[in-house]
Amino acid sequence: MRLSSFAGSDVGRMRSGNEDSYFCGQTVFAVADGLGGHQGGEVASAAAVEPLAGLDGRSFGDAGEAAEALAAAIREANEAIIDRAAGDPSLYGMGTTVTSAAVAGGQLQLAHVGDSRAYLLRGQALEQLTTDHTVVGELVRRGRLTPEQAAIHPERSILTRAVGLDPRVPVDTPDPVELRDGDQVLLCSDGLTEAVDEDQIAELLSAADDGDAACRSLIDAANAAGGPDNITVALLRAGGS
């Protein structure tokens, strides 16, 4: 199955620099959202995508092999970020989210830490494929908050898990997605999802025939809603352009 990919990133309207990084290759894709101040965030997110980019073009035997490779790359990045921060006091406390994907035959395998997200748009239905590693996300999973309450909760961005902060950080590897013709998979930082609701994301992805235009429309929508954070998107389209 043919897979086309597109990506874009924008500083937004409230930040002075862009702490997000992304990689959009042929078989591997990633979005990372850095934390720890401007310099530290940039360094951490770039370090997170570097080992993932090294997997691009590799032929995975199956989704399980892809999951192991993605998780290993994220653990490699985790160690590198911790080591870098230990040697440079100005980078102390830096970390990053990372959401990554790899193509294995007709399947797409994800590996994920933090609150950057992956979505699947199939037909008109948008499904979040990743779990938010946040305090509020955990409260939703326990039934103590509704998704609507979580969306406006003042602590919704507090992470419970990030790359570069814990030497033994767990990496989620959700079940692979069996790609179908017409599927769209979106990886994005929370600069998009904090500003644009899921109904509008689905509408914008459905409305744009061109993948680059779809990415731009998502970024423009986040900025139109105030652009409170850096905005990064990577879009995969199966069977189309």
- Which two structure tokens, joined as six digits, stand for 178? 């069996």
- For the beta carbon of residue 179, count every other beta carbon within 10 angstroms: 21
| 172 has a pLDDT exceeding 70 | yes
Question: 153 or 119, which is more confident?
Answer: 119
Residue 241 has pLDDT above 50, yes or no: no
- Give the predicted TM-score (pTM) of the model: 0.94
Q: Is the pLDDT of residue 20 over 60?
A: yes
Q: 37: phi > 0 → left, psi -120 to 50 → alpha, else beta; which?
A: left
Residues 84 and 79: their CA atoms lie apart, in Å, by 9
How sure is the predictor about 74, in pLDDT bands with cuts at 50, 70 and 90? very high
Residue 61 has pLDDT above 60, yes or no: yes
**pLDDT score recorded for residue 157:** 73
Closest CA to 18 of 43, 54, 53: 43
Range name among 73-77, 88-92, 116-120, 155-159 with the lowest pLDDT average: 155-159
Q: At a CB cut-off of 8 Å and minimum separation 6, what does 221 contact?
A: 195, 196, 200, 204
Model confidence at 109: pLDDT above 70: yes
Strand (E) or helix (H) holding 146: none
Q: Is the per-residue pLDDT at 222 higher than 70?
A: yes
Q: With a cut of 50, say whether residue 219 has pLDDT above it.
A: yes
